[in-house]
Amino acid sequence: MDALAGKHAVVTGASRGIGLAIARSLLAQGARVSLMARDAAGLDAAARELGGGVAWQTVDVTDPASVAQAFALAGVVDILVNNAGQAASSPFMRTDAATWQRMLDVNLTGAYHCIQAALPSMLEAGWGRIVNVASTAGLTGYRYVAAYCAAKHGLVGLTRALALELASKGITVNAVCPGYTETDIVQEAVANIVRKTGRTEDEARAELASNNPQGRLVQPDEVAHAVTMLCMPAAGAMNGQAIAVAGGEVM
């Protein structure tokens, strides 16, 4: 279980949910892990839960200065997992410019800033793994989340373009695209459905789960497993892929 021994991984959005599950999985493979997110208290709690001297830095991925400072403190990065993200739901004609821009800033431009900060050390080492946590919304369309879909499609496009650019450098770039996953974001979506439609929480959860042919929500550990696989030294031929973790929803 030490396939990633000697490698330093940075995971953004790592204080909870999918990001915390990814950090735990990478640690289990021997990596040294630094957690990044906006919430210092959440990061501290996550680091204490993981144990083993896990480091953490607060970061706002939408702010280039904040990203530069956090990555300077983190040091050399071998593995970058861009997991920080947000989702906002509204009909397109009620999606204001501020919401549109926020979805792009957090879900797409944030990954750009973090890659800019982490890539130099990977290029110097001649080895690296970049995994962008996108969404099935980056592979298909969903009603009422146009801005989120646009941002996640952009993240998949960035993944593919950068994978080709770095293909001869020993660095792979891939995306993992979860379907509806048991996270706080999905809980917020459930609350939104309940508030707007009057359905019960169980009915709202069942509606989201119905998108998955397996009839269930994806679990964070399942997403983490896919991410960790792409970070392995043996995954060197996996490059430019957008892997759906969604029970067959997207093929």
The whole-model pTM stands at 0.94
User: Where exactly are the structural domains of the chain?
Assistant: 8-179+219-241, 180-217
Amino acid at 92: F
Q: DSSP per residue over 65-90, as a string?
A: HHHHHHHHHH---SEEEE--------
Q: Which residue has the tokens 């499609």?
A: 153
- Written in H, E and C, the secondary structure of 188-245 is HHHHHHHHHHCCCHHHHHHHHHCCCCCCCCECHHHHHHHHHHHHCHHHCCCCCCEEEE
CB 92 within 8 A of CB 146: yes
Beta bridge partners of 129: 79, 172
CB 33 within 8 A of CB 50: yes
In 10 A of CB 86, how many CB atoms? 17
* Helix (H/G/I), strand (E/B), else coil: 176: strand
- pLDDT at 27 (0 to 100): 97
* Tokens coding 49: 């839960």
Q: What is the pLDDT along the chain (251 residues), one digit of tens a residue?
A: 799 999 999 999 999 999 999 999 999 999 999 999 999 999 999 999 998 779 999 999 999 999 999 999 999 999 999 999 999 989 999 999 999 999 999 999 999 999 999 999 999 999 999 999 999 999 999 999 999 999 999 999 999 999 999 999 999 999 999 999 998 878 888 888 888 888 898 888 888 899 899 999 999 999 999 999 999 999 999 999 999 999 999 99
* Tokens coding 156: 């998949």
Give the active site residues: 148
- pLDDT at 205 (0 to 100): 86
> In the CATH hierarchy, which fold is given to the domain comprising 8-179+219-241?
Rossmann fold (3.40.50)
